[in-house]
Amino acid sequence: MLVSITKNFEERLAVTALVGLLFVSVLVILWPAASLVLAQTATLSPAALTISPDPAQTDDLVTAQVDLGADSSNNIFTWYINKQKRSDLSGLGKSVAIFIAPSSPAASLSIRVDYGLPGAATTTLAQTVSVVLSPATKAFQQMQNQFQDLTAQQADVETHISADIRQLPDNAGPGETVTLIVSSLSADLDNATITWFFNGKRISSGVGNRNLTIQLGPSGSANDARADIVLADGRQTEAFYSITPLGVTFYWWSNTHIPPWYRGKSLPTPGSLIFIQARPSFPDAVSGALLYTWFVDDTLVTAASGQGKSILSYAIPDDGQIAPIRVRVANISKTVNQEAEFGVPVQTPELWVYETRPFEGIVTAIAIKTIARPAGKTLEFVAEPFFAAASLIKDLKYQWTLNGVALENDKTPNVLRLLSRTDTTGAQAVNVSFGDQANRVLRLLQSFQVNLQ
């Protein structure tokens, strides 16, 4: 009996040892694989899409990169920029995409990439960044604005035509023959049709007809010439010239307003004063000893007449109607006795608007008609009343309007400062008018347009 029990125990022990040995063998076999799985699970990380720079800048490089946390060379990457597939950026192992941002700021820039092993399902990553204006684009837009300004100035110069008439000889006397020659620095007159008029009568016409020969009238006579010019491209202008064959010329000036930077002459206008100086063809010492007798509308001006009184001041009526003015120059013995008439060149006041820029001051090269400027900036404009009578300047009243809305500007009434918002774009109509307090003598209006971008 004891032998039988012992035998059974030994058999059970052998079976138990065999089962334990099999368990250990299986554990030894499975343990490396389990370790490998654990090791691989510990080293993997989620894929990420990074964009640089963020936000993107216009016309600048943008870099998009996918980080898989492992070797990505065996994956196929398909890139989409703003929903447009970019085949040039896509392909095997192309986990990095480099491209140029749009030229204008947009609300956003969307970037998407699909990736995966060949033949396997793909994974999608997407990201959206904003686009801001780069310094380079800002500088380019400023250059565009400057180019547009220069183009506008060039167009104005090309449109304007000026012509002048001179005479040979320049000191012809009564009854002498002179030749008038018309010329221009801004137009081709050799191919222009030129028609001459002398004392109101048509004398000659033809292409390149630049010269006119005339015989002057007697002393004190009016000899007025006009050249009507039609260029080959259809543009037209005219030039005037007057000769008083008395050996007496006139020099004149007026007290009308002109800006300090204006290089031209102040022109007489209604309500202003004009000062007229008679200049005989004698040395100053002789001219100072002569007798000057001034007449306005055939009425003797006693206070302005006498020995050496070669200057007459004349108040131009408010309606601009000029009375005839003449002077008799003589010596006591009457061996010199000549008369000359003077035609007052009355003009109309003009209102022009100019831009004022920081560090530059008034841009005097050209008056404003249409300009383009960035939105959100402060703009300053100054209105200049060319040739307004000095007696009216202090009483001028200015009125500015923006898109039909009147603006208040009491401190410096001829200056307008505009501050636009960055979201305000498009054409802005600006008007300025001025006149004397009663609008009795002077009333002018000028308009221009500001395109905000």
pLDDT at position 159, please? 62
Mean predicted lDDT score pLDDT of the chain: 83
Rounded CA separation 121/47 (Å): 15
pLDDT at position 9, please? 39
Pick from 204, 245, 246, 206: which is nearest to 226 by CA? 204
Most confident of 214-223, 298-307, 361-370: 298-307
Which tens digit of pLDDT belongs to each residue from 395-445? 778 889 999 998 887 778 889 888 888 888 899 999 988 777 655 667 788
Q: How confident is the model at residue 78 (pLDDT cuts 50, 70, 90)?
A: very high
CATH number for the region 247-347 comes to 2.60.40.10
**pLDDT of 239 above 70:** yes
* Domain span(s) for CATH 2.60.40.10 in the chain: 159-245, 247-347, 350-452
Which tens digit of pLDDT belongs to each residue from 109-166? 999 999 999 999 999 999 999 888 888 777 777 887 888 777 666 655 556 688 999 9
Residue 368 CB contacts under 8 Å (≥ 6 apart), including other chains: 353, 354, 355, 381, 448
Mean pLDDT throughout 63-81?
Answer: 92
Three-state secondary structure call for residue 313? strand
pLDDT at position 198, please? 96
- Whether residue 24 contacts residue 30, with contact meaning beta carbons closer than 8 Å, is answered with no
pLDDT at position 107, please? 66
* Domain span(s) for CATH 2.60.40.1930 in the chain: 48-132
**pLDDT of 4 above 50:** no
Which tens digit of pLDDT belongs to each residue from 12-29? 434 344 444 444 343 333
Three-state secondary structure call for residue 16? helix
CATH of 48-132, one of 3.40.50.300, 1.20.1050.10, 2.60.40.1930, 3.30.70.360: 2.60.40.1930
Residue count of the chain? 453
Burial of 60 (0-12, 13-18, 19+ CB in 10 A): middle
pTM, rounded to two decimals: 0.45
Burial of 251 (0-12, 13-18, 19+ CB in 10 A): exposed
Q: How confident is the model at residue 98 (pLDDT cuts 50, 70, 90)?
A: very high
- Whether residue 235 contacts residue 155, with contact meaning beta carbons closer than 8 Å, is answered with no
Q: DSSP code of 190? A: T
